[in-house]
Structure 1
């Protein structure tokens, strides 16, 4: 059985150094989640759009 994928989605606000998606991805990597199990999108404006794009 394959491990589940984790979807990280979120843009970057004017006062943020990195996007929310990248910050969550970096945290997951620090928690030893394998990079191949992380899907992330920092372009879509809506989370539903990101999920649709990443899972199609």
Structure 2
């Protein structure tokens, strides 16, 4: 699992799809590794799309 600063990324992207994705995913139980992995994998994909 990558080491993202979720709070910082969410703050910097609060009005776009990345911020909305983080907000929605945080509604799930982040102590459950499946949800944590989904958050980080989805975030990695969304952030990499911005590099293209």
Class of the TM-score when normalised by the shorter of the 2 chains: 0.3 to 0.5
Larger Rg over CA atoms: 1
Q: Which has the higher strand share?
A: 1
Higher relative contact order (CA 8 A, sep 6+): 1
Q: Which has the higher helix share?
A: 2
